[in-house]
Every structure is written in structure tokens, then in C-alpha cells.
Amino acid sequence: MAITNITEINDISNRIKNRGAFLYHACQLKDFKSYLELGGVPSRNKLHESGLDFTEFETDYIDKKNSVWDKVFGNFSDFGKNFPREKTKSMPNPYGPIQIVFDPLVLKSVTDISITLRSAGAKDFHRDNECLKSSAEIEKIYAHINPEDTTKDYEKAYIAFSEDLNSRFKKNNCTSPEFNCAIENELLSFNEAIHIIVDNCEYQGSALINEIKELIKTKELTKIKVFERKYYCNIKKTIINELSKIALDKDCSWKNIINNKDASNELKEWVKNCNEFHYNRFIKYLTLGTIRA
């Protein structure tokens, strides 16, 4: 069962906080604008019921079936952080180029929390059967179960690899931990949002980060700092920017971008090395949710 005991929920929040770790939620620009109107990160149900714009996901029908449509989602790591590195095959976060980073104290406002070791978008997912059973188990999702095992503060927040998670929890289907939670009004307030990380995309002829800064300023949320994602590989930085420009008026699906005579060789080569299914999902969401929002 999901954890509903307030003492346990507070303990989870404190344990994450003590590691110097954060909570994350990625979104597209279309959704972010709606989040600002609502005052925080909502459940998909609240977003739908509000009548505001949002990016439709292929897993929406599964979320309804799996009874998480009215829950607010988040992650324990930044899924977009590996793409900017030179020797990785990771793609940008498919759920959006806008990464909202929360202080873990935000969890103190939830009434129940289900921390799972794989995505709730799996067809055979069962929220109550798959969640951690106690607050103490949260330590096992991190690479260093005991944070004092490393002297490097940033390593205390590292999430364990899937093979370690499978071993620790005696499972065979672990991917990456995430959480979904019930909360009053189905909304995680921006009051505990610390900063926002924005990918190097272009929006309407300007850097996407400029649009985000303006939106934040308009809503008087200036305490939330906005940063451009740091790229360790200039080619990756150029690729995502180029792709965002082409997607404004061109179909950038896997086959089309490879055959696009105007696309750079670097972009084509990167796309060729991407899994076609995962790439097409990523570019579909990015195009509809941000580039043409």
C-alpha cells in the first residue's frame, strides 16, 4: 500500500533533504504555462479538468487504468542530465525541456505517497503492490545506502543503477525510481520550487530560457531561479538547438530527419544512433508541447 502515515511521509522528506538531494518534474512549455496559472505542478486529472492546455501523452490512458491519473508525479533524479555529456547515448528528457526542481520538503504537504522502482506507465503496473513499504527503504534507492559512505556531497544524491535496485529489492524489472502522490487540490505548490533548468531549445526565434524567465517574472515568482542546462559537449548543445529550429515547420520524425537535406551531419548521425521509438516519442512531445506551443 502507498504510505499514508504522516510521520513516515515526513521522514521520507527529511531523509532526502539530509542527502542534499532534490525532487524533479519535467514538462513542456504548453504545460508549464498551465502550471503557472494553477500555481504548481498538478495531476493530469486536474490539468484536464482545468480546461487549460497540456501535452497529451501516449500513456494517459494507462495512467487512468492504473489509478494514477489523479496523482502528482515526480522523479528523484534529473533525466535530462546525461544527454549533454559527450560519450552517452541518452536523449533529452522526453517529457520536456523544462525541469522544475523542488526542495524535498514539498512532500510534507502530501497525504499519501507511492515510491516505485519503475514507471507507472507500464501496462501491468499496480500502484499499491509496487511501492516502497516504509520510509527507511528510501535509502536503498540511492547508490550509497548510507550517505556517510562517501565524502563527496554530490554523490549522496546519486540514484542506484537498475541492477543494484533489482538486487536490493529482489525484483527483476526495476528501471528508475519515481513517485506519485495524493495531495489536497491535486497540486504541488511552487512555494517549494527552488529553480528551473531549461534545455538549449529555441522558441519563436529566441532561446527558450528567455520565455521561461519572462513567464516567471510575469507571475512574480522571481524567487525561483532559472538556469540554462550545462552542456559538456558542444555538439550536443548544437544538436538540440538545431532540432528545435527545424521542428518549427518540419516533421522531425526519425526517418524524416535522416533524409532532411538541410539537417547537419552531426544531427543526422545522432538521430541514427537513437532508438527510433524513443526518439519519435521525444520529438513528438517536444514539437507539439514546446516548439509549436
The whole-angstrom separation of Cα 193 and Cα 191 is: 6
Domain for residue 62, yes or no?
yes
The cell numbers describing 204, all together, are 519563436
The whole-angstrom separation of Cα 270 and Cα 236 is: 9
Residue 272 exposure: Cα atoms within 13 Å on the Cβ side: 10
Helix (H) or strand (E) holding 24: strand 23-27
Q: Per-residue pLDDT tens for 211-257?
A: 999 999 999 998 999 999 999 999 999 999 999 999 999 999 999 99
The whole-angstrom separation of Cα 23 and Cα 138 is: 13
Domain for residue 252, yes or no?
no
109 falls in which pLDDT band (50, 70, 90)?
Answer: very high
CA dihedral sign of residues 183, 184, 188, 192: negative
Range of the domain at 200: 6-231
Q: Per-residue pLDDT tens for 43-61?
A: 999 999 999 999 999 999 9
Q: Number of structural domains, the chain?
A: 1
How many CB atoms are located within 10 Å of the residue 211 CB? 21
Domain for residue 248, yes or no?
no
Domain for residue 223, yes or no?
yes
The cell numbers describing 6, all together, are 504522516
Q: Per-residue pLDDT tens for 186-222?
A: 999 999 999 999 999 999 999 999 999 999 999 999 8
Domain for residue 289, yes or no?
no
The cell numbers describing 177, all together, are 525510481
Integer CA distances (angstroms), 27 to 11, 143, 173, 187, 204, in order: 28, 26, 25, 15, 18
Domain for residue 147, yes or no?
yes
Domain for residue 169, yes or no?
yes
Output the pTM of the full model.
Answer: 0.96
Q: What is the mean pLDDT of residues 122-140?
A: 94
Domain for residue 14, yes or no?
yes
